[in-house]
Structure 1
Amino acid sequence: MKWLAYVLILTGIVTMMYPKMKSVYSSYQEKQLMREWENHIDDKAKTSFTKLETVFNEQEQQEPRLPERNSLLGTISIPKLDVQLPVLEGASQQNLKHAAGRLEGTTPIGTKGNTAIAAHRSFTYGKQFNRLNELVKNDEIIIETKDGSYSYTVNQVFTVMPDDISVLSTKPGEALLTLITCEPMKNPTKRLIVQAVLEQ
């Protein structure tokens, strides 16, 4: 009869704990869904980021064509580095030869989400993002478009592996700018990332 007593006690404990366990599980599922939402990255943005591997490492055998004029989105200025570059739609080899390029699939400049802009750092392609590693927290980045001027404040500088697309993720309500270039400047094996927050 002892076993019956144990079964009844165990049943009582499970019955008492069930609401708490259900609540914990529900909370876990909620957090998982929120994490999925926060880490959702547009497929086009993933493809654009992945293509940077080729763009940053490709040695062109011929002079790339000039970018299309209607792809001009605006300019990016980094006062600390005395840098001002045109920003084109698309981070292709053709565009990055002459300018910085917004990764297709990332959010439009000045809007909530994550706007990713890439540029070369190699001496072959001029200065562009050569000195991006000198940026630190609270430095300013300004983007001018036909819709207005947007000021971003740097909040972190770090490196990632070329396949780490987590740099394109964002949180709901957040307006981020992610600058991407190769690291190191010669024979790059990583990506140098600068992330900045839009000033309201």
Structure 2
Amino acid sequence: MRRLIGVVLILAGLSGLGYIGWQFWGTDWQSARIQEKVRTETEQAWSHGKEPRVKWGNVEGIVRVPRFGDDYAIPLLEFTGYDALHAGYGHMQESAEVGQKGNFVIVAHRTTRNEPLRHMPDLRVGDEVVIETRTHVYTYRLITRGDALRVRFDSGGWVLEELPDNPEPGGVEPPQVPGQRLITLVTCAELFHSDDRLAVFGELQRVDQKAPAA
């Protein structure tokens, strides 16, 4: 009986390790394939003047961050639930549209799901975040560092507001000027479980219209 219990405990431990391994490595592999597929289908649809339709949600664009490398190109989907984050970034529905006045908020995983924002703390003031859509390319310039602002999950909702106003005196926030065209990136603060979030702010610098599809 003791031997049987020992075997059961070992198998349970291995199952737990397998689940953890899948979460941290298996989902990376899975989501890397999903994101490549969504990006390819999006670019093909754009080349025909169409908006893409994929099973993970409505694709709004492709996110590029030069700080993360020349080949960094992650799909951006309307955030209707965590399934959308399998395919890349999620655009918070209650926030502004890309390029519009207000606060354009996008979120992504820091671990698992191909880790789009694993290196969020490496972002620096002046770095660019580029959002490509079917018709335009929007270039935002960061005005805070990627590691400068850490907020609690249950009390950091102010970073999603139209004009984020830090309740902490002297805390990190964008210039308090109404009518700005802001971007906010949000992800987990830690590589493992965390109730904190990192947030970084940027402002729109340039909008370039793309040539019409052939």
- How high is the TM-score relative to the length of structure 1? 0.63
In the other structure, the counterpart of 1:53 is: none
In the other structure, the counterpart of 1:101 is: 90
Instruction: Say what the alpha-carbon RMSD is for the aligned residues.
Output: 2.3
**3-state SS in 2 of match to 1:71:** strand
Instruction: Judge conservation of contact 1:91–1:117 (CA < 8 Å) in 2.
Output: no
4+ residue runs over 4 A deviation: none
Q: Does 1:112 align with 2:97?
A: no
How many corresponding residue pairs? Answer: 138
Instruction: Judge conservation of contact 2:88–2:108 (CA < 8 Å) in 1.
Output: yes
CA shift, 1:108, in A, is 0.4
Where structure 2 has 5 or more consecutive residues not aligned to the other structure, the ranges are 1-22, 24-29, 35-53, 164-176, 207-214
In the other structure, the counterpart of 2:181 is: 175
CA shift, 1:156, in A, is 1.1
**3-state SS in 2 of match to 1:101:** strand
Q: Any residues of structure 2 matched to 1:104-183 within 5 Å, and which?
A: 104-122=93-111, 124-157=112-145, 158-163=149-154, 164-169=156-161, 170=163, 171-183=177-189
CA shift, 1:68, in A, is 3.1
**3-state SS in 2 of match to 1:146:** coil
Q: Does 1:185 align with 2:191?
A: yes
State the identity %.
29
- How high is the TM-score relative to the length of structure 2? 0.59
Which of 66, 77, 88 is the aligned partner of 1:79?
Answer: 66
Instruction: Judge conservation of contact 2:56–2:84 (CA < 8 Å) in 1.
Output: no
Greater shift in the superposed pair: 186-195 or 166-175? 166-175
Instruction: Judge conservation of contact 1:91–1:100 (CA < 8 Å) in 2.
Output: no
Bigger-Rg structure (1/2): 1
Where structure 1 has 5 or more consecutive residues not aligned to the other structure, the ranges are 1-58
Q: Letter of the 1:153 partner, please give it.
A: R
